[in-house]
Amino acid sequence: MVKMAPSILSADFSKLKEQIETVQAAGADWIHLDIMDGHYVPNITFGPLVVAGVRKITDLTLDAHLMIENADDYLQAFQEAGVDQITVHVEACPHLWATIDKIHQLGLKAGVTLNPATPVTLLEPVLHKVELVLVMTVEPGFGGQKFIPETLVKIKALREFKRRHDLAFHIQVDGGIDETTAPLVVKAGADVLVSGSSIFGQPDIKQAFAKIKKSADAALAQMA
Ligand code: DX5
Ligand code: ZN
């Protein structure tokens, strides 16, 4: 099973409720929340206040992707806002081990992520501690960027590490995932797909969601 995690970064925030309900009805598994602070990445999005609003709209897993400095200082605020899991960047968290522990102590699932130029080996010491590894397939900061194919080897390396060490973390991908790139990442080992502009940026959200899901499921079937 490939899970779908639409990112509301590309949603129309004046119609957020309606659009979240649309992807939920289409079969979304998680709602991906891109939190940006204008420091770690050159863009600002939304914080716990909006997340608390999203929590009232849906029971789906809320998957927070923190692209912020001093992430430790904000973990509790996002937990209180109602997220189910928090993913942090290895480049922005100098005490990653402790940050993962803090996320778990808040009763949440923990994810770690890395930018396209960051090697997977940096994460290896913590891979047994996390529920999720997110491979950024674009530079974080904006929706609508082009998928970077060189990241495929990192997805494969994670799949191999997971197999060798008998671990169970999800391998999630984020950035430029559409019906063309979804099969590539699924074949490389991804099992959770984040898509923003290729879902919410399309005139028919339901149909756009279905297209990506179908291409991902077809890729998975080919592997079996
Ligand atoms: C980028 C974000 C992504 C973004 C992906 O920094 O982490 O989650 O929403 O957008 P698309 O799918 O448009 O590349
Ligand atoms: Zn994201």
Distance, in Å, from the CA atom of 120 to the CA atom of 166, rounded to the nearest integer, reads: 17
Rounded to an integer, the average pLDDT of 89-96 is 98
What is the percent of the chain with per-residue pLDDT over 90, rounded to a whole number? Answer: 99
The tens digit of pLDDT for each residue in 105-155 reads 999 999 999 999 999 999 999 999 999 999 999 999 999 999 999 999 999
Question: 122: closest CA among 145, 72, 86, 88?
Answer: 88
Distance (angstroms) between ligand 2 centre and the Cα of 82 equals 17
Q: Quick one: pLDDT band at residue 224, thresholds 50, 70, 90?
A: confident
Which residues surround ligand 1 with Cβ inside 6 Å?
7, 9-10, 32, 34, 65, 138, 140-141, 143-145, 174-177, 194-198
29 flagged as catalytic: no
